[in-house]
Amino acid sequence: MALAASEIPDEFPAAVEAYLSGEGIDADGALIPPDAVPAVDPAQRIALARRLARVERRRAERRAATEAEVARLQHWLAEEDTRDGDIAARLRLVLEAVFGEMRERGEVRGKTLALPYGVKVAAHKQQDLWEHDDAPLLEWAQRSAPAFVEQRPHLRWGDLRKAASATADGGAVLAETGERIPGVTVQRRGEAVTVKWEEAGE
């Protein structure tokens, strides 16, 4: 039989409310005081679920609003930055051309032109650009220069995990041979209880 809304409490006993608000929680927050668990009856269970739904809905609404605002700001930033970046790139090209003409006329000594507003134009030597095609180069290196070819061993952990069995002392052995596998520890874990929330109204 479904409970009427008026039968579902809005508030819990003081000890429960104190725990939910974060008061008197131990250092790691893992232990729930005995008096922080309300009576196990339908009304209390529904009240807990409703409180959780309201909290999660507030979190979801804040995240959605924040994400929308962040997306708007990122879009604005990208547009403004692209526009000014294009202008800055064209200004640099013009300044490079001016610098080149000034050097040709002998109006610049050395390789640097200092301008107001913190702008400096400078010429500098570039390293040669080397390009390579991996496939033919690797084939040649394996044949003629093997010292420059890396041989990297790769552990197939997923396959090894399927072929291994846990031992009582927290280790592992290769199931087929029983040989102990070094470097592997197994932490036994029991059941996990999860509480999920999905938008479903009240």
Mean pLDDT by 10 residues, the chain (202 residues): 70 78 64 68 83 92 96 97 97 95 90 94 91 93 93 91 94 94 91 79 59
Instruction: Tell which residue, 47, 23, 49, 27, has the closest CA to residue 36.
Output: 23
The pLDDT, as a whole number, for residue 195 is: 77
Rg (CA), the chain: 34
What are the residue ranges spanned by the domains of the chain? 39-123
* C-alpha–C-alpha distance, residues 147 and 168, integer Å: 46
pTM summary value:
0.54
| Cβ within 8 Å of residue 119, ≥6 positions away | 95
Instruction: Report pLDDT for 48.
Output: 86
- As given in the structure block, the two tokens for residue 186 are 């197994």
What is the structure's pLDDT at 119? 95
